[in-house]
């Protein structure tokens, strides 16, 4: 995958088609982080993601190194991909080495992969 045009060389972008295949085949080996707010997750959710709402950053930021493996492949999702890109940039600054932003977020996943997921 090419590097992000917003943050060159720092993290990769992952399209929903590639993610869906990997999610089905390699779910157990992926670290999955959803940075959306609790009310958004209540509307549309993908099982297997750890929820770290950006609005609660101060509550979980200090535990990021012990809660997640900085060397494991980490995929970050939000609604459309902007907040997750911010999180990816921050994870890289914290020493995470294999970080990917889910392009288009859960909205793209609902449109392209699973139309049973509610859109908002």
CB of 76 closer than 8 Å to CB of 87: yes
Q: Whose CA is closest to 78, among 109, 48, 117?
A: 109
The one catalytic residue in 30, 75, 78, 99 is 78
Asked about 88 being catalytic, the answer comes back as no
Instruction: State the DSSP code for 56.
Output: G
Residue 97: count other Cβ atoms within 10 Å of its Cβ. 13
Strand partners, 80: none
Q: 75: which 2 tokens? A: 């995929």
Residues recognised as catalytic: 78
């Amino acid at each position: 995958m090419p590097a992000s045009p917003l943050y060159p060389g720092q993290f990769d972008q992952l399209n929903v088609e590639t993610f869906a295949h990997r999610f089905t085949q390699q779910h157990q080996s992926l670290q999955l982080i959803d940075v959306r707010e609790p009310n958004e997750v209540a509307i549309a959710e993908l099982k297997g993601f750890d929820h770290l709402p950006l609005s609660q950053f101060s509550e979980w930021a200090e535990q990021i190194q012990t809660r997640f493996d900085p060397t494991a492949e980490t995929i970050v999702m939000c609604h459309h991909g902007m907040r997750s890109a911010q999180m990816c940039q921050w994870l890289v600054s914290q020493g995470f080495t294999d970080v990917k932003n889910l392009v288009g977020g859960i909205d793209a996943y609902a449109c392209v992969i699973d139309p049973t997921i509610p859109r908002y």
